[in-house]
Structure 1
Amino acid sequence: MPAPAADPSGAELLPFDPRARERRPHDPLEALLRAGARGALALITAVEGPSYRPVGAMMAFLPDGRRSGSLSSGCIEADLQLHAQKVMAQEAPALLRYGAGSPFFDLKLPCGGGLEILLLPCPPASLLGQVARLRAARRGFSLAIGLRDGAVAIGPDRPTGKDGHGLFHVRLGPEPRFLIFGKGPEVAVFAGLVQAALLPGLVLSHDDETLAQATAIGMPVRPIDTRGLPGDVEVDRDTAAVLFYHEHHYETAILRRLLAGSAFYIGAQGSRRARDARLEALRAAGMGEPALGRLRGPIGVVPSARDARLLAISVLAEILALHAQRPA
């Protein structure tokens, strides 16, 4: 593992430390809320052929010319901004077509596909505030948007797409949240990756040095002991729990609670031999085979990764791929 970089504050920076780069607003709905519910929201409502972004992707245009998000590789955003200014001025939606089947023959999509994009005047501040509260509570929901009138309402959790009744639904499910257990460089590097990806996480460890490293990169931490996962740490169906332990006696108490809960991913570092010993310890503690079948190990998409950075990248890729494949 390379030596940590220096930081002007005197603290050490671990690899992938998010303080090494500027953090920019990346969420269009949050950007509109911060702008006082002024601006325009753009959404991809249909795709023909290949596309840089999926159906449901969003972008915000703010009155001062700033943008949040993207809908292409940069080939249509300037034109979208011109249309967004009209939408803001007229307070009326506009449905646009780019690429295949578009009247804008001078604007080509490099991928060769077609995009249908709905431009809306900014949703009300009350609705944006409710969206923020639902997200903070990690509730799955959707936005129901009228394709003709641009009316926006919050609806139940459902897949993104048109419903055949003039509405377009955008699913806004919770992001994956990470519970990171263990000791050593694997914990520090994995926590740094989660931070760099702007995803929520919590490091739980019995080791003061590991907790200090996580704190240095801005990751929330929680000291634990052999009693395992604290009872007030919430675990929901969008939680991923990863154990990076070399001292495996810490694992049983943690895994007993995790395997009884709803986390979509539970994995533990170690070889096949370590996995087999872990399973035997859990059986001796009273865990049944259905629960044990949820435990992953060895973990990661790269077999037998022994470098802390490669292992962290490998495990994060595995978790994000599984989360993306889950049904709504």
Structure 2
Amino acid sequence: MTARIAPDLEPIAHVPRAAFLSDDAIDILRFAAKSLEDGYVAALVTLVQIHGGAARAIGAQMAVRQDGLYCGFVSGGCTEAAVATEAVIALQNGTDRNLRFGEGSPFLDIVLPCGGGITLAIHVIRDAAALLRTLAALQKRTPVRLRYHPRERTLVFEPGEGATGWQGDCFVRAYRPRQRLLVAGTPMEAGAVARVAAASGYEIMAAEWGRMLPQDQLDGDTAVALLFHDIDRELALLERALASSVFYIGALGSRRTHAKRCTVLRQRGYGEADLARIRAPIGIFDKARDANSLALSVVADVAKSRTASE
């Protein structure tokens, strides 16, 4: 799918506005690809440099189409409409460009609350193929990268993992599949955790006692929360999680219960490195006496673990 860059686009007729609010990379890429599919010219805006403090991390993105409709964030919400306006101008000219806000910026009326500055790369999307390949790979839960060549004004799909940032004169944006949480346990606790996690943007998998999941579903972007009140009921799933690359394993129970859990696992041949992967008692609260508090505690612990591993 190739979008025609029209040099005679009409001036901005509407105030730029958000199509929807999301900072999820998959949502942003999907919006950009859908815009081209619907016949709109679109741009991908990427935060490529930070000077001082910033509200978003390197690689944060927005997608902007020719009528000013956009999604995504490259700051805390204070610059996005202005960024969209500048992106539409780039679309009208059919030319990629860099944009700076905050410290050192020519836009003196736009001051970032953090006091720093950001540099943005606006790429006029000429072909949606790289976006579509990226979305297809992420749907299959495969990490990928997009390599932006400013001089060549191209966006190139690359399979595999990597870091986000400059590599020579190219900017590489790494993408990982959407985070997923496997929840298993008693209905009340598991249901509460699943609801809070879903509201926080996690994909949810539910597993019942005695049901085994395929090993390939437990990947490095998946967390496992075991919320049983009986070690025997959790054991099969716990062993399946320990044999996988999941980034988080948490199990319900007191410290005394966890000591018993570790004894059982040692008897089954597991070493100290395996046992160290298990967060128990699960959650960031020392004691969560009700299902809703437990749910907040568990999801916060998963998010904390994910942030620490990035």
Counterpart of 1:299, as a letter, is I
Number of residues paired by the alignment?
A: 284
Show the counterpart of 1:67. Answer: 70
Structure 1 residues 86 and 24, CA, compared in 2 at 3 Å: closer, same or farther? closer
- Tell me the alpha carbon deviations over residues 86-137 of structure 1, each in whole angstroms, 9 at most, x when there is no partner: 2212221010111101111122112211010111112522111101111011
- Tell me the alpha carbon deviations over residues 202-245 of structure 1, each in whole angstroms, 9 at most, x when there is no partner: 0112xxxxxxxxxxxxxxxxxx42xx523466211221111011
The 3-state SS of whatever aligns with 2:217 is coil
Contact 1:93–1:148, Cα closer than 8 Å, also in 2: no
CA distance in 2, matches of 1:233, 1:260: 11
The 3-state SS of whatever aligns with 2:183 is strand
Determine whether 1:28 maps to 2:31. Answer: no
CA distance in 2, matches of 1:257, 1:73: 40
CA distance in 2, matches of 1:267, 1:123: 45
Within-5 A mapping of 1:226-305: 228-231=211-214, 234-305=217-288
Q: How far is the alpha carbon of 1:24 from its aligned partner?
A: 5.8
CA distance in 2, matches of 1:141, 1:299: 31
Counterpart of 1:60, as a letter, is A
The 3-state SS of whatever aligns with 1:36 is helix
The 3-state SS of whatever aligns with 2:189 is helix
Superposition RMSD in Å: 1.9
Determine whether 1:98 maps to 2:101. Answer: yes
CA distance in 1, matches of 2:249, 2:84: 43
Q: How far is the alpha carbon of 1:36 from its aligned partner?
A: 2.5
Correspondence for 2:134 among 105, 116, 131: 131
Identity within the alignment, %: 32
Contact 1:93–1:149, Cα closer than 8 Å, also in 2: no
- Tell me the alpha carbon deviations over residues 7-57 of structure 1, each in whole angstroms, 9 at most, x when there is no partner: xxxxxxxxxxxxxxxx86652111011223531111111011111111110
The 3-state SS of whatever aligns with 1:185 is helix
Correspondence for 1:161 among 140, 159, 165: 165
Q: How far is the alpha carbon of 1:252 from its aligned partner?
A: 1.3
Unaligned runs of 5+ in 2: 1-19
Unaligned runs of 5+ in 1: 1-22, 206-223
Structure 1 residues 103 and 134, CA, compared in 2 at 3 Å: closer, same or farther? same
Q: How far is the alpha carbon of 1:139 from its aligned partner?
A: 1.4
After superposing the two structures, state which structure 1 stretch, 180-189 or 287-296, moved more. 287-296
Show the counterpart of 2:81. Answer: 78
CA distance in 2, matches of 1:34, 1:71: 20
- Tell me the alpha carbon deviations over residues 51-79 of structure 1, each in whole angstroms, 9 at most, x when there is no partner: 11111100011233321111223332222
